[in-house]
Structure 1
């Protein structure tokens, strides 16, 4: 039997370190995944370039760019040199382009490339749900990426679950219960793939709200 261990990070660098620590703990690359909002990864070594949208880009142009981003999501399958070597760009409805690698990203890529109706839910939310994560948790994680977070998820044998949980907790992961409470306090109830994606300014404002709670 296997267990899915998933954690959220506010810092892309923390998530990178978590992935490396999982690999060092003996968890296979094929069982580790990272999904990050493009603005969280902007400027980070190893992340795809050109992640920011021009200030004068219209909503329609941004939507078109988001859809086109799926076409650049190559090389993520069969990546060598660690999970992070497979980082690519994938467009997710309701989130926009994300920087992603690993099994979760591959499932989302298949949904988008296949033209699945509701690809956002069929991708991140659906992949997590199908792997055993509750729908409620899966929607929270998708919403967290939408708001600028970075997700790290590992599929591990039951006897490795505690190790994976310790590694991810020690890497500075977010308190999911507290963060969900913050979302719900602003009226959020579920992930909505038809919602507009967050701009860099939206994410900065969101992070300012997080900081006020600490």
Structure 2
């Protein structure tokens, strides 16, 4: 039986290194997805088109990275089945955009909202479809990279007034929020 395992990371580079380790461990790139903000979130089309080519010529999932604009999140780099599902959802083929993509893969609504909000706030998410005999190895790789503690981060978001991901919200500007130019969204 296939199980979807997902972790969020504070930065794109960590998530990218997790994807590389998963592929080195023999996990098929067709079972791995990554969605995140690369760098400061100021991603442009030329950068998005060249990101896959700029990962050192590696084969696999990372060579297929592309730019995707997700409502409420803004520009992200994404690859894999999760990105394809989110594109279909954004285009109206499925309900719920990024949140709907996570729910479709077996996450409950709270988890799905957390993962989408984490990407919105500049983090990155790696999600893996793992067969029963791969689960322990995949979990060790995902957890070995020190993912964000979902319980603690969700509590932090809620303390700031957040209740769920809002795809109609403006993309989150971490620098503006930190400097006091804007307040965190209350949803």
> Aligning the two structures, in what range does the TM-score lie when normalised by the shorter sequence?
0.7 to 0.9
Q: 1:34 to 1:162 in 2, by over 3 A?
A: same
Aligned residues of 1:41 and 1:99 also touching (Cα < 8 A) = no
Alpha-carbon offset, residue 11 of structure 1: 1.8
Q: Which residue is 1:56 aligned to?
A: none
Aligned residues of 1:147 and 1:203 also touching (Cα < 8 A) = no
Q: Any idea what the Cα deviations from partners look like across 1:153-189, whole Å, max 9, x if unmatched?
A: 0001122111111101111211111111110111111
Q: Any idea what the Cα deviations from partners look like across 1:32-76, whole Å, max 9, x if unmatched?
A: 000002544668xxx96457xxxxxxxxxxxxxxxxxxxx8xx9x
Q: 1:205 to 1:102 in 2, by over 3 A?
A: farther
3-state SS of paired residue (2:83): helix
Alpha-carbon offset, residue 124 of structure 1: 1.8
Aligned residues of 1:15 and 1:151 also touching (Cα < 8 A) = yes
Runs of 4+ with deviation above 2 angstroms: 37-43, 47-51, 114-118, 199-206
Rounded to whole Å, the distance in 2 between the matches of 1:160 and 1:205 is 44
Q: How does 1:74-89 map to 2 (within 5 A)?
A: 81-89=59-67
CA RMSD of aligned residues (A): 2.6
Alpha-carbon offset, residue 202 of structure 1: 3.6
Q: Quick check: 32-41 or 163-172, which moved more?
A: 32-41
TM-score for both structures, normalised by structure 1: 0.72
Q: Which residue is 1:181 aligned to?
A: 155
TM-score for both structures, normalised by structure 2: 0.82
Q: Which runs of 5+ in 1 are unaligned?
A: 52-71, 207-214
